[in-house]
Amino acid sequence: MSKIISVVGIVLIVAAGALTAVSASKEDVIKSKKALCAKYTKNAEAALAQKDFDKATKFAKLAIKVDPENKSGYKVLTKIADAQCSGNVPATNSTGAATKAKPKAAAAQEEELGC
Amino acid sequence: MNEKKYWSPVTAGILLGIALFISFMVAGQGMGASGAFARSSAQIAYTVDPNFAQNAYAGKYLKHGNALLNWTVIEVVGIFIGGFISALLARRIKPEVTRGKGYSSGKRLFFAFLGGVIVAAATRLTRGCTSGQALDGAATFSVGAWIFMLAAFGAGFFFAFLFKKQWKGVE
Amino acid sequence: METVFPLFTNGFLDNNLNLMLGLGIGIIFGFILERGGFGTSAHIAPVFYFRSLIVPKIMVTAIITASTLILIGSLLGYIDFSQIFIPTTYLWAYLVGGIIFGLGMVMSGWCPGTAVVGIASLKIDAIFFALGLLVGMFFYFNIYEYIIDFANSGNLGRFTIDKLVGGDIRISYLVTVGVSLALLLFVMTMKKVIDKKGEN
């Protein structure tokens, strides 16, 4: 009896997967990459706001990796570099206020954007 | 395969697939086993002779402290525990040498050991075994996983005739 | 913080927590394997004589289930597929290594993962297999410098199906399902042939 249930189960799983793969379009794949990029960018900005430069850089790089044509990852990297150089965390959209912060000691991940 | 509290392979497969997915989603990697043995071997060799850290292959396991402090090793400990619990509940814990009818235990254990030596070396070339390379790799669309699977199972079927007596009537 | 899977590789889990969860995940794997009958070589070896289908059935089912979930999760934008670990494909090493692996597996009746389960229920042949594994690993460590070029030959990188045939994750999934089912059908047919032979 349970054997029948599981066979029905795997048939449903294959059907669901095949249906998804066949009905999804190239645009859907691109949309999913953009969604990931947006999430990573958001996380990078959030980490930056908390002055966690390591985490912010990691997320910014993931944003770039996942959607290389999207500029937002690069923008955040620039913001991070600025913040590390000047000690100022630039205004983010959510709070709209810049906060002064001690620059993180030279664990600089982004050599190419250094001070 | 009869009664004794076994799940049907399709049932086990669905559950295993879900578990694999969870593993990928949490740790970024799936079930693995051969790596744990490689690391254990390296750690034992290192304990006997610290110069082993210079070894061209095993050195990378020993670079960051204890070679056993690794996700796959700990996951394999988990496999042992889970297998133990299931066997205990199903009353399947029983020392025995699984072999064909009338086949010598000694010969069986020899081939089990020799097979282990062969499989181990093979997994270093294939970067994993049926769990870490075939299952995980195929589930993540790796072509290498299929190359491995076709070669391994192809060879298994091909060389099976050599071991007919060892397995005849096994249960 | 927006959650993106995998959790660990994307920085949502610290290393110690990841290890602890790994233990739990392993326990689940081990339990399922034992329940599926993979704690004894008596269930594994007959597969190589087309007398049992449990290995291809469980593998195909698991591959299809896991890859379906990965496909859907990726298309929905929850999973960063590029962060899931896939071993690099080394064409020649995999071909030769695969053949050697197959020989060892039918000889011993075990593979490393199932052997761990076998040890847990005191299968002595599993214990000997595991000892062989440790020795074999040591052997390989010592010969590696002499075969290092071969062992790293045919490096195709992170070689997913879409890189081979073109396209994206959708084609990877469809090919995976297609090939899995085709191979399952093949072994099922072979088993019928062997069964018929046995009747005569």
* C-alpha to C-alpha distances, B35 to B61, B140, B147, nearest whole angstrom: 10, 19, 19
Nearest CA in chain C to A50: C1
Give the per-residue pLDDT at C199: 83
- In DSSP terms, which residues pair with C89 in a beta bridge? C157
SS3 C143: helix
Is A36 part of any domain?
yes
Is A94 part of any domain?
no
Domain that holds residue A83: 32-88+106-113
Nearest CA in chain C to A14: C64
The total number of structural domains in chain A stands at: 1
Residue C94: exposed, middle, or buried by beta-carbon count in 10 A (0-12, 13-18, 19+)? buried
The overall average pLDDT reported for chain B is: 95
A contacts of C71 (beta carbons < 8 Å) = 17, 20-21
- Sign, CA dihedral C8-C176-C29-B78, equals negative
Nearest CA in chain A to B8: A3
Whether residue C87 contacts residue B32, with contact meaning beta carbons closer than 8 Å, is answered with no
Nearest CB among A17, A24, A43 relative to C68 is that of A17
Q: Is B68 on the interface with C (CB under 8 A)?
A: no
CA neighbor of B94 nearest in space, from B106, B104, B103, B84: B84
* C-alpha to C-alpha distances, C161 to B30, C39, C58, C90, C157, nearest whole angstrom: 19, 32, 22, 15, 12
CA neighbor of C101 nearest in space, from B110, B116, B32: B116
Given an 8 Å threshold on Cβ–Cβ distance, is C108 in contact with B162?
no
Given an 8 Å threshold on Cβ–Cβ distance, is C169 in contact with A29?
yes
**Entry pTM:** 0.92
Q: Which residues of B129-142 are buried (b: 16+ CB within 10 A; e: fewer)?
A: bbbbbbbbbbbbbb
Tens digits of residue pLDDT in C33-74: 999 999 999 999 999 999 999 999 999 999 999 999 999 999
How far apart CA A38 and CA A35 sit, in angstroms, is 5
B contacts of C94 (beta carbons < 8 Å) = 125-127, 144, 147-148, 151
What are A's interface residues with B at a Cβ cutoff of 8 A?
2-3, 5-7, 9-10, 13
The overall average pLDDT reported for chain A is: 79
Nearest CA in chain B to A12: B14
Say yes or no to pLDDT of A93 above 60. Answer: no
How far apart CA A32 and CA B161 sit, in angstroms, is 50
Whether residue B163 contacts residue C106, with contact meaning beta carbons closer than 8 Å, is answered with yes
Q: Which of B11, B18, B20 to mutate to test the interface with A (most CBs of A within 10 A)?
A: B11
Q: Which of C133, C144, C171 to mutate to test the interface with B (most CBs of B within 10 A)?
A: C133
Find the helix or strand (DSSP H, E) in which A111 lies: none
The overall average pLDDT reported for chain C is: 97
B contacts of C18 (beta carbons < 8 Å) = 26-27, 71
Given an 8 Å threshold on Cβ–Cβ distance, is B11 in contact with A2?
yes
Give the minimum alpha-carbon distance from C192 to chain B in angstroms, rounded to a whole number.
Answer: 16
| Assembly ipTM | 0.96
- Section C130-153 average pLDDT: 97
Please report which confidence band the pLDDT of residue A91 belongs to, taking 50, 70 and 90 as the band edges: low
- Section A90-101 average pLDDT: 40
Please report which confidence band the pLDDT of residue B65 belongs to, taking 50, 70 and 90 as the band edges: confident
C contacts of B56 (beta carbons < 8 Å) = 141, 144-145, 148
Given an 8 Å threshold on Cβ–Cβ distance, is C121 in contact with B94?
yes
Tens digits of residue pLDDT in C73-126: 999 999 999 999 999 999 999 999 999 999 999 999 999 999 999 999 999 999
Q: Taking CA C103 as the corner, what is the angle to CA C99 and CA C106, rounded to the nearest 5 degrees?
A: 135
Say yes or no to pLDDT of C1 above 90. Answer: no
Find the helix or strand (DSSP H, E) in which B17 lies: helix B9-27
Is A21 part of any domain?
no
Say yes or no to pLDDT of A87 above 80. Answer: no
Residue C33, token pair as written in the block: 């394997």
- Which residue would you say has higher pLDDT here, A74 or A13? A13
Give the minimum alpha-carbon distance from B44 to chain A in angstroms, rounded to a whole number.
Answer: 36
Is A99 part of any domain?
no
- Section B80-93 average pLDDT: 97
Determine what percent of chain B falls in helix, strand and coil, rounding each to the nearest 5. Answer: 70, 0, 30
Taking residue C75's Cβ as centre, other Cβ atoms within 10 Å add up to: 22
How far apart CA A75 and CA B27 sit, in angstroms, is 29
Give the per-residue pLDDT at A90: 58
Given an 8 Å threshold on Cβ–Cβ distance, is B120 in contact with C57?
no
Say yes or no to pLDDT of A83 above 50. Answer: yes
Residue C65, token pair as written in the block: 């289930």
Is A8 part of any domain?
no
Give the minimum alpha-carbon distance from A13 to chain B in angstroms, rounded to a whole number.
Answer: 9
Say yes or no to pLDDT of A94 above 80. Answer: no
Give the per-residue pLDDT at A107: 33
Tens digits of residue pLDDT in A16-41: 999 999 999 999 999 999 999 999 99
Whether residue C48 contacts residue B21, with contact meaning beta carbons closer than 8 Å, is answered with no
CA dihedral A48, A52, A53, A59 (to 10 degrees): -70
Radius of gyration of chain C (CA): 20
Give the per-residue pLDDT at A114: 42
Nearest CB among C10, C82, C177 relative to A14 is that of C177
Given an 8 Å threshold on Cβ–Cβ distance, is B11 in contact with A6?
yes
Residue C130: exposed, middle, or buried by beta-carbon count in 10 A (0-12, 13-18, 19+)? buried
- Section A35-49 average pLDDT: 94
Residue C120, token pair as written in the block: 């847990």
Given an 8 Å threshold on Cβ–Cβ distance, is C174 in contact with A24?
no
Taking residue A105's Cβ as centre, other Cβ atoms within 10 Å add up to: 7
Is A60 part of any domain?
yes
Say yes or no to pLDDT of A95 above 60. Answer: no
Find the helix or strand (DSSP H, E) in which B129 lies: none
Please report which confidence band the pLDDT of residue A88 belongs to, taking 50, 70 and 90 as the band edges: low
Give the per-residue pLDDT at B171: 83
Residue A48, token pair as written in the block: 């930056």
Which of A99-108, B91-100, C139-148, C184-193 is predicted with the least confidence, judged by mean pLDDT?
Answer: A99-108
Percent of chain C having pLDDT more than 90? 96
Say yes or no to pLDDT of A105 above 90. Answer: no
> Strands, DSSP E only, in chain C?
89-90, 155-157
Give the per-residue pLDDT at A80: 87
Whether residue B145 contacts residue B136, with contact meaning beta carbons closer than 8 Å, is answered with yes
Q: What DSSP character marks residue C86?
A: -
Give the minimum alpha-carbon distance from C197 to chain B in angstroms, rounded to a whole number.
Answer: 16
Say yes or no to pLDDT of B2 above 50. Answer: no
Give the minimum alpha-carbon distance from B114 to chain A in angstroms, rounded to a whole number.
Answer: 37
Say yes or no to pLDDT of B145 above 80. Answer: yes
How far apart CA C150 and CA C137 sit, in angstroms, is 17
Q: How many CB pairs under 8 A join B and C?
A: 520
Say yes or no to pLDDT of B108 above 50. Answer: yes
Give the per-residue pLDDT at A81: 87
Residues of chain B numbered 89-108 and touching chain C (CB < 8 Å):
90, 92-99, 108
Q: How many CB pairs under 8 A join A and C?
A: 70
